[in-house]
Amino acid sequence: MSHQELLSTYRFVRLAMPGLALLLALSVGIQVFSPQPDCWLGSISAYYYTPARAVFVASLCAIGTCLFVYRGTTLREDAILNLSGVLAFFVAFIPTPLADATTGAGTLCGRSNVPSDVQLQAALDNNIVSGLVALVAVAIAYWVFGGFLREGRGRPAAGSVVAAFVVAAVPVALYVARPERFEQLGHYVAAIGLFCGVIAMIVMHAWPERFAGRTSDGEKPHTEEKFQRIYACVIVVMALILAASLVMKLVLHLDNALFLLESGLIAAFTFFWSVQTWENWGVENAEAAATAAATPAPEDARR
């Protein structure tokens, strides 16, 4: 593969994320402003039970894939990207309990996609088992092709392999031990972990010297000061969104506070990702990132 092909692939992976966020926003927005009454649900995830389900699931799976395959600037960022990508799949596969997807009036927006209890349980069993088996298979493939066969395997590679198996084994063990609790809480845990992961990634780029860790070559990452300031502002905006949502929920008792929180955080992350794409669009930076993604250093061997 030529450098130009690598560069194009890198750029399209970067551009895919805002496009997928727009796709999700449009689908949910169309449903919110549909002519049906009481059509603003309490969270974005509640739209799993509406005509927006296909877009909700597909966009989250695609976002998870982009996060997983995209190589972070540092080993630490890369681990967070991988974990966030995995969690995005489980946010899509495990819906919120049906009781949590109702409005204050106890109605659902768009009843055409509300499954029966039996259908919902069958879908959960199918999706969760498929996701967990695939996760274990990816961990094994990473061990074989990323950490075992490449020359010069060092501590970072070994640690990454161990982390991959831990990430795969923990949800499998929880599902085997307590499947009911896993189905009840899995969506919320995955969603919170996903948001925490993307926030941590922004923090790493806002203050790289303090939080980002080191690259596969043992070097500190470099981000221009003007971009660091922009990313720091994004973190501040996210904190304000969280504070405003808490006020709306605890003081004003608004049922849609979580919806507004999720929407605000997704919009802030999309803005960060778009600015970072602009930052790395130049040929030198993008080619370096694309080449690094294609030929990882031995101590950070991966996919």
- Does the structure show a pLDDT above 90 at 175? no
Number of domains in the chain: 1
More confident residue, 217 or 149: 217
When pLDDT is cut at 50, 70 and 90, the band that residue 204 belongs to is very high
Q: Which of 33-42, 73-82, 107-116, 157-166 has the lowest mean pLDDT?
A: 157-166
Q: State which residues form the domain around 78.
A: 3-300
When pLDDT is cut at 50, 70 and 90, the band that residue 104 belongs to is very low
Q: Which of 78-82, 87-91, 151-155, 210-214 has the lowest mean pLDDT?
A: 151-155
> Per-residue pLDDT averaged across 60-81, rounded?
90
Q: Which of 81-85, 126-130, 152-156, 198-202 has the lowest mean pLDDT?
A: 152-156
Q: Find how far residue 62's CA is from the centre of its chain.
A: 9
> Per-residue pLDDT averaged across 215-237, rounded?
87
More confident residue, 153 or 173: 173
Q: Do residues 234 and 206 lie in contact, with contact meaning Cβ atoms separated by under 8 Å?
A: yes
> Per-residue pLDDT averaged across 181-191, rounded?
91
Q: Which amino acid is at 200?
A: A
Token pair 């894939």 is found at 65
Give alpha helix (H) positions in the chain.
3-32, 53-69, 75-93, 117-141, 155-177, 179-206, 208-211, 225-250, 257-279, 283-294
> Per-residue pLDDT averaged across 274-301, rounded?
62
The model's pTM is 0.84
Q: Report d(CA 182, CA 121) in Å as an integer.
A: 12
